[in-house]
Amino acid sequence: MIYDLPDSRDGQYVERNLEQETVRCFVPGPLPPQPPLVLTPHHHDLLERANRALGRLDGITTLLPDTSFFIYNYVRKEAVLSSQIEGTQSSLSDLLLFESDEVPGVPLDDVREVSNYVGAMQYGLKRVRDNDFPLSSRLLKELHALLLAGGRGATKAPGSFRSSQVWLGGMRPSRAVYVPPPVRILGRAHDEPRALHPRRTRAHTHLN
C-alpha cells in the first residue's frame, strides 16, 4: 500500500513486510521535483531573509583571528554528532586527542570512526569544489569507502550500496524512527543527483 504525503514532491510511504512485520518505508520524491517548485512572494521573502543571515555570518568571519581554525573545530563537532547516530561514544575531546596522537577516553574504534567522518567530508568537499566533480553515485561510493575504512564498518562492504533493508531507531522495524527506501528502488534514488547537473556532457556522466 502507498501513502502519499500532503505535498507529493516530498515523497511517499510504501508498505512492505520486514522480519514478519509490516513497516512503512519512506521513498523520497524524484529530483528535480515534479511538479516544479513555484516561488511565491512569501518564498522570495524567506529566501531574502536567508541571504541576509548568510551575509551576517560571512561578516562575522572577518572578526575571527583564524577562520580556518573555526572551520576545523566546526567540521569535527559535526562529525561527532553525525557518528553518534550510529552509536559511537566519542566526544569532541576524544577526537582532538586522537588527532594529536594522544589516547582518547573511549574505545579506539569509536574515535577512528569519527575521524573517518572528518576525512570523508573533507575529501567530498575537495572533489566538488576544487575538481568540479558532480554529485553522483560514484562520489557517494567513494565517500562511503572512506567512511567505513577501519573501525566497525571495515567488514560491511565499504564503497557499496546496501543490499538489504535497514532501519534507524528501535529494536524492531515496526518500532523504528525511520525506515529508508527498499533496496529495489535504490538505483533510481542514487542516479537522481546527476539530474541536478544538466550541463554535464554525456561522456562525463557516463564515467560516473
Domains of the chain are 1-38+161-208 (no CATH), 67-160 (1.10.3290.10)
Q: How many whole angstroms from its chain centre is CA 134?
A: 15
pLDDT value at 149 more than 60: yes
How is residue 202 written as a grid cell?
A: 554525456
What is the percent of the chain with per-residue pLDDT over 90, rounded to a whole number? Answer: 12
pLDDT at 109 over 70: yes
What mean pLDDT do residues 77-90 have? 84
pLDDT value, residue 1: 58
Higher pLDDT, 33 or 191: 33
Asked whether the predicted pLDDT for residue 8 surpasses 80, the reply is: no
Whether 176 has a pLDDT exceeding 70, the answer reads yes
Give 13 or 104, the one with higher predicted confidence.
Answer: 13
Structure-block grid coordinates of residue 39: 516561488
Q: pTM, whole model, 2 decimals?
A: 0.68
Mean pLDDT of 174-193: 76
Three-class DSSP category at 99: helix
C-alpha cell, 157 = 562492504
* Cα angle 8-13-17, degrees, rounded to a multiple of 5: 160
- Across the chain, what does the average pLDDT equal? 80
| 92 against 52, higher pLDDT | 52
Helix (H) or strand (E) holding 143: helix 137-147
* Order of strands, sheet of 21-28, starting from the edge strand that comes earlier in the sequence: 2-4, 11-18, 21-28
pLDDT at 191: 60
Where do runs of H (alpha helix) occur along 31-136?
41-61, 67-84, 92-99, 108-129
Beta bridge partners of 3: 13
Residue 100 has, within 13 A of its CA and on its CB side, a CA count of 9
pLDDT higher than threshold 60 for residue 3: no
As a whole number, mean pLDDT of residues 89-112 equals 82
Average pLDDT over residues 65-71: 81
- What's the pLDDT score for residue 200? 45
Q: Note the pLDDT of residue 207.
A: 34
**Mean per-residue pLDDT, 15-35:** 83
**Cα-trace Rg, the chain:** 20
